[in-house]
């Protein structure tokens, strides 16, 4: 089918029998990899698509969102199964689910306010934040000894506990409650069978 305008412009059109479903969007991560040569004039609409494969996909973003340190502050003995109520494989599995939840549910950033998991305790790693929540819930611990053990402030411990508690509820994970209430680091160490360096005594003859 063709037509010519009064000014002499000839337009040709033909029926395309192909099926093109509506409502399909291309993810930004794919659009960013298209081999495009953007034109200098209104490059948003004017560009040339080169006939070549997509650019390599960039590495996946860290579940920590780049806002939290990778290293842990908590001493290794705090992860003892007698303290967490979980053996090492179960702890790692829970930590992996915790990290994935934070990655899939980024915080809602509102001017002047931060809400949602991942917005608090920015000086503690994901493992540290989860650990303090588990210890506080399991042993009904106050914040001061936890803050001292991790070398951070009570405010950050509180942020970590609130965040991790929300995530654990979303994951439908229940922390096993210990038989006693623990109020000091020494009590934790005794449960784990750990002797802290500050408690060691050298006997003199």
For residue 129 the two structure tokens come to: 């934040």
Number of domain units in the chain? 2
Cα dihedral: 36, 38, 39, 44 (round 10):
120
pLDDT tier for residue 24 given thresholds of 50, 70 and 90: confident
Q: What is the pLDDT of residues 123-142, one digit of tens each?
A: 688 899 999 999 999 999 99
pLDDT number for residue 66:
43
Give the closest residue to 192 by CA, choosing from 60, 22, 76, 69.
76
Using the predicted structure, report yes or no on whether residue 200 has a pLDDT greater than 60: no
Give the closest residue to 83 by CA, choosing from 200, 198, 175, 195.
175
For residue 126 the two structure tokens come to: 């994901």
For residue 19 the two structure tokens come to: 């099926």
Q: Which contiguous run of DSSP H or E holds residue 189? A: helix 185-192
Q: What is the pLDDT of residues 140-190, one digit of tens each?
A: 999 999 999 998 888 889 989 998 999 999 999 999 999 999 999 999 999
Residues 46 and 102 occupy one common structural domain: no
**Within-domain flag for 63:** no
pLDDT number for residue 118:
44
Residues 43 and 106 occupy one common structural domain: no
Tell me what the mean pLDDT of segment 57-76 comes to.
61
Looking at per-residue confidence, does 173 or 201 come out higher?
Answer: 173
Residues 119 and 195 occupy one common structural domain: yes
pLDDT number for residue 89:
93
Residues 85 and 39 occupy one common structural domain: no
Q: Which contiguous run of DSSP H or E holds residue 188? A: helix 185-192
pLDDT tier for residue 198 given thresholds of 50, 70 and 90: very low
Give the closest residue to 63 by CA, choosing from 30, 106, 115, 116.
106
Q: Which contiguous run of DSSP H or E holds residue 11? A: strand 10-12
Residues 116 and 181 occupy one common structural domain: yes
pLDDT number for residue 58:
60
For residue 178 the two structure tokens come to: 């210990």
Cα(first)–Cα(last) distance of the chain, in Å? 109
Residues 144 and 44 occupy one common structural domain: no
**Within-domain flag for 121:** yes
**Within-domain flag for 65:** no
Q: How large a percentage of the chain has pLDDT more than 90?
A: 36
Query: Which residues, 6+ apart, have CB-to-CB distance to 98 below 8 Å?
Result: 126, 130, 164, 167, 168, 171
Residues 165 and 191 occupy one common structural domain: yes
Residues 33 and 134 occupy one common structural domain: no
Domain span holding position 40: 27-58
Provide the 10 A C-beta neighbour count for residue 117. Answer: 20
Residues 153 and 181 occupy one common structural domain: yes
* Mean pLDDT (the chain, rounded): 80
Residues 47 and 121 occupy one common structural domain: no
- pTM for the complete prediction? 0.59
Tell me what the mean pLDDT of segment 71-90 comes to.
91
pLDDT number for residue 30:
77
Residues 43 and 83 occupy one common structural domain: no
Provide the 10 A C-beta neighbour count for residue 65. Answer: 15
pLDDT number for residue 8:
85
Using the predicted structure, report yes or no on whether residue 191 has a pLDDT greater than 80: yes
DSSP at 39: -
């Amino acid at each position: 089918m063709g037509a010519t305008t009064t000014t002499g412009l000839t337009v040709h059109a033909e029926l395309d029998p192909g099926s093109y479903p509506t409502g399909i969007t291309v993810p930004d991560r794919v659009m960013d990899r298209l081999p495009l040569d953007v034109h200098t004039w209104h490059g948003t609409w004017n560009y040339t698509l080169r006939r070549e494969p997509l650019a390599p996909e960039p590495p996946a973003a860290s579940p920590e969102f780049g806002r939290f340190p990778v290293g842990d502050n908590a001493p290794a003995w705090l992860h003892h199964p007698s303290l967490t109520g979980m053996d090492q494989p179960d702890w790692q599995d829970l930590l992996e689910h915790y990290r994935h939840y934070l990655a899939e549910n980024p915080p809602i950033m509102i001017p002047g306010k931060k809400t949602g998991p991942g917005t608090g305790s920015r000086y503690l790693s994901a493992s540290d934040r989860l650990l303090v929540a588990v210890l506080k819930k399991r042993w009904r611990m106050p914040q001061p000894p936890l803050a001292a053990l991790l070398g951070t402030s009570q405010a950050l411990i509180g942020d970590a506990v609130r965040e991790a508690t929300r995530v654990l509820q979303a994951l439908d994970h229940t922390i096993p409650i210990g038989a006693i209430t623990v109020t000091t680091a020494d009590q934790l160490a005794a449960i784990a069978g750990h002797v802290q360096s500050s408690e060691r005594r050298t006997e003199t003859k």
